[in-house]
Chain A
Amino acid sequence: MRTYLIKRILQGIPVLFALSLIIFFVINLAPGDPLAGMMDPHITSEDLARRREQLGLNESIIVRYFNWLKNALRGDFGRSMKVGRRPVAELLQERLPNSIILNVAAMLISWLLAVPIGIFSALKQYSLADHTITFFIFIGLSLPSFFFALLAIYIFSFKIPIFPIGGMRTPGAPFSILDILYHMALPAIAMGFLGIASMTRFTRSSMLEVVKQDYIRTARSKGLTEKVVIYKHALRNALIPIVTIFGLSIPGIFGGSIIIEQIFTWPGMGTLSVKAVFSRDYPVIMAVNMFYALITYLGNLIADVLYAVVDPRIRYD
């Protein structure tokens, strides 16, 4: 296990390196630069040329990449070119918690609902309840996320005004956790419900898979009560693949949902990264992407490790 871990972590280094190269070149070869969009009658070509020079945009792309790499390896991701020349690390620090709380809340909602529903649905396979659940799952899987979010706002912020229309804090009110929770409710529910569909489906099939296994039959034939069979034997094994999903959803927690954040004007990583891409804010794009890549890689690793931890049959040597 330990050698496996070390091997995987070491393998991550060239992966991240290759990724930084790809992302840097793709972003920098994209037409336009941070100044191209500034159409303003007061700005002269001389001003623009000076500014490009100052930002180092006139250097060759290879020089720029190695400059970036040199600084990044020292932990310096530079300053944003579009957000007040602020240090990129500071921007991430500001936005990251916002995304995390929203995504964790959404994940909690979807897991807490999806796992019981999925198990229930599996145990009552082919019943009316199972068919109804399956049907709604499929509808949930077939709805574009923005549509669901808009519907949620329309109903619960406007027609029945329980929740605010957007934002993360009541403007001007003192900082309070309750206030944030209140603003978070609707986006978290909208996002959570979208997650329910796939999670329920996953739990259901995982449970069905287990129930069919020989050891469950053996357990039953040994005369154990159905409750013991289900909760002691089946459930535990059915949860194995579900646990690995946790590892795989880690990057989602940090990455932030671009669409949900935009619709609810939630100041998270999603809105930051989209704005950065559209305005060619190179340092921010690089930092966000590299961070995301790192988290994804670690998430995959955690998923594999969790899998081995919960399932003793799997061994990494």
Chain B
Amino acid sequence: MSRRFLILCLMLLLVSSIALAADGPEYGGRFVDTEIGDWGEMFNPILYEAASDGDIIGLVFNGLVQYNSNLEIIPELAEKFEISEDGLTYTFYLHKGVKFHDGHELTAEDVAYTYTTLVHPDYTGVRGGDFLSIKGARDFRDGKADSVEGIKVIDDYTIQIITEETDSAFLAALTIGILPAHLLKNVPVAELENNEFNRQPIGTGPFTFHEYVSGQYWIGKAFDDYFLGRPYLDEYMYRIVAQSSLPMLFEKREIDVASLLPDHFKKVKELPTVKPFTSPRFQMLYMGVNQKSPKFVNKRVKQALLYGFNREVMVNAIFKGFGEVAHSVIPTVSWAYNGNMTKYNFNQITARKLLEEAGYNKLDKDGIRMNAEGQRLEIDFLCYQENTAITKVVELYQQMMKLIGVEVNITMMEFNALLDRVYNPDGWDFYIMYWGLTPDPDWSFALKSDAAWNDVFFVNEESDLLLDAGRKELDQEKRTEIYYEWQELVMQELPYYPLMFPTAATCLDVRVHGYNENQGPLGLLVGPEGTLYNKLWIPKAEQFRITQ
């Protein structure tokens, strides 16, 4: 073959591939996703702890059900599911012919194995809590039963789960990835965490776990037998990057997608090679308000200290407008969000009036308020040091409080130290932090009296009753009513000051197709029919464009 002929061929190939680009999805190419920080190296859906591990697990495994972009729970491994009249029995009909990456077929046994392991007495993870609502699970964990009564394998493709009581959050728990029983059932549950499987997992997902280089990158290869169709991409890569280098990496086209800091986003979105996206997400910036603090015995003080904080300035100055002021602990994008509850819009006059009413009506020489006994209104604020934006929020708060005669003392701590500190109610009034939330509006995990994360000592019987009722009720309309009432109560009692719901700012390289342009809070890679991992594609002509 002459060289000229070869060049001609190549040109033809190029032209044809460009022409094809308009026609629709093309196979091949590698999509480069980004991870900041590092992995926890536990790539097992029931044992992982780090969110970064969850990202990879999401590509390698499938759950029985999944969330779609409208935040509805839809079937995934299950072709369909039914919930009985009384709301206790869930019946799942599995897709037939779903293959694990090793070619073995997925059956109801695998599902039963996964759920049983989660409540096994020797189970070493922290994700079993949601599954204890399965009938007989508690007895099984306590060693009083040999199996879980409420997990029933009907046949290879049908499984029934029976819960003890109605639980509206239960279905969401079943998004957890299904493990291959044939590989793991002989491993003692206590030893599972030490098994090699966790570093070379085998699931049913669109990408197989191909190559993992500690602290560097991960590569998933398209799974040819994926039950929803082979992904268009050949490879899905996660790359560890430093946050500060993201703008440079976009400019050099070394990465395809990343969430960016506001300043970086403003710069990167001007590049002709990226498409910018913003969307709300299930996250809340909030201040924890110590309910045991003697300063907050009078509710007016709590209210005044929120009225006096101009959160609009905070959102615009510190977050460059990438967020919205929060008026509730339930995000605006949730179906349960109540737009009509008491709002604490910035109002210094109201704030001052409330403080006067609370007895702080004298000023000392520094302009700080005192009560009749001469006690200064001094507030102790705990802040963690790992996040500069958060530090600025606290500094801003300090200045704004000064304007209404309140002194704020800031104590900086390491994140872990802060989480430890807040469980001792003495000596602090506020702390600041983010909550990463789930699409379900339930708050029992943090604002119920006995909750694991109730670090503001919020004890309120009415709230507990409402949260229980909300969790037991399956009807969304009725739940909405319950949560409306509960949100109003929370905004009266103020265990938290909700500050802001951040806006995700994401950039995507223009060469990528097949994502969800009308993304919801779950991001670009989730569509109305669920995850789009196998739908992403890159035109042939551009597959080589990213520098290798």
Chain A residues within 8 Å of B, Cβ to Cβ: 30-33, 35-48, 50-51, 54, 79, 82-86, 94-95, 150, 153, 157-158, 161, 165-173, 262-265, 267, 271, 275, 278-280
Interface: B436 (CB within 8 A): yes
Name B251's closest neighbour in chain A (CB-CB). A158
Q: What 0/1 readout, one digit per residue, does chain B (186-221) give for beta carbons within 8 Å of chain A?
A: 000000011000110000000000010111110100
- Whether A31 lies near B214 (C-beta < 8 A) is no
Once A and B bind, how many residue pairs between them come within 8 Å at the CB atom?
156
| CA of A35 to CA of B124, assembled, Å | 13
- Chain A residues contacting B421 (CB-CB under 8 Å) are 31
| CA of A36 to CA of B452, assembled, Å | 11
| CA of A95 to CA of B213, assembled, Å | 11
- Whether B419 lies near A39 (C-beta < 8 A) is yes
- Chain B residues contacting A173 (CB-CB under 8 Å) are 548
- Chain B residues contacting A79 (CB-CB under 8 Å) are 194
- Chain B residues contacting A39 (CB-CB under 8 Å) are 419, 433, 435-436, 453
| CA of A50 to CA of B121, assembled, Å | 10
- Whether B199 lies near A84 (C-beta < 8 A) is yes
Interface: B312 (CB within 8 A): no
Interface: B129 (CB within 8 A): yes
- Whether B420 lies near A267 (C-beta < 8 A) is no
- Whether B248 lies near A157 (C-beta < 8 A) is yes
Name A172's closest neighbour in chain B (CB-CB). B219
Within 8 A of A (CB), among B467-516: none
| CA of A83 to CA of B235, assembled, Å | 25
- Whether B242 lies near A262 (C-beta < 8 A) is yes
Q: Would A32 and B419 be within 8 Å (CB), given that A46-B129, A51-B126, A267-B214 are in contact?
A: yes
- Whether A41 lies near B415 (C-beta < 8 A) is no
- Most A CB contacts (10 A, CB to CB) among B30, B125, B126, B242 go to B126
- Whether B416 lies near A32 (C-beta < 8 A) is yes
Could you list 22 A-B pairs, sorted by A, with CB under 8 Å?
A30-B417, A40-B126, A41-B445, A42-B127, A43-B445, A47-B127, A51-B124, A51-B126, A54-B124, A82-B50, A84-B43, A158-B251, A158-B252, A165-B242, A165-B252, A166-B242, A169-B213, A170-B548, A171-B213, A172-B219, A173-B548, A267-B216
- Whether A165 lies near B248 (C-beta < 8 A) is yes
- Chain B residues contacting A38 (CB-CB under 8 Å) are 49, 126
- Chain A residues contacting B452 (CB-CB under 8 Å) are 43-48
Chain B interface category by residue count: 35 or more
- Most B CB contacts (10 A, CB to CB) among A39, A86, A95, A168 go to A39
- Whether B130 lies near A84 (C-beta < 8 A) is no
| CA of A36 to CA of B30, assembled, Å | 37
- Chain A residues contacting B237 (CB-CB under 8 Å) are 171-172
Interface: B437 (CB within 8 A): yes
- Whether A278 lies near B242 (C-beta < 8 A) is no
Name B246's closest neighbour in chain A (CB-CB). A165
Name A275's closest neighbour in chain B (CB-CB). B38
- Whether B438 lies near A31 (C-beta < 8 A) is no
- Whether B194 lies near A32 (C-beta < 8 A) is no
| CA of A82 to CA of B47, assembled, Å | 11
- Whether B245 lies near A278 (C-beta < 8 A) is no
- Chain A residues contacting B211 (CB-CB under 8 Å) are 172
- Chain A residues contacting B450 (CB-CB under 8 Å) are 45
- Whether A44 lies near B216 (C-beta < 8 A) is no
- Whether A161 lies near B126 (C-beta < 8 A) is no
Interface: B263 (CB within 8 A): no
- Whether A32 lies near B239 (C-beta < 8 A) is no
| CA of A256 to CA of B215, assembled, Å | 15
- Chain B residues contacting A37 (CB-CB under 8 Å) are 415-416, 419
- Chain B residues contacting A32 (CB-CB under 8 Å) are 414-417, 419-420
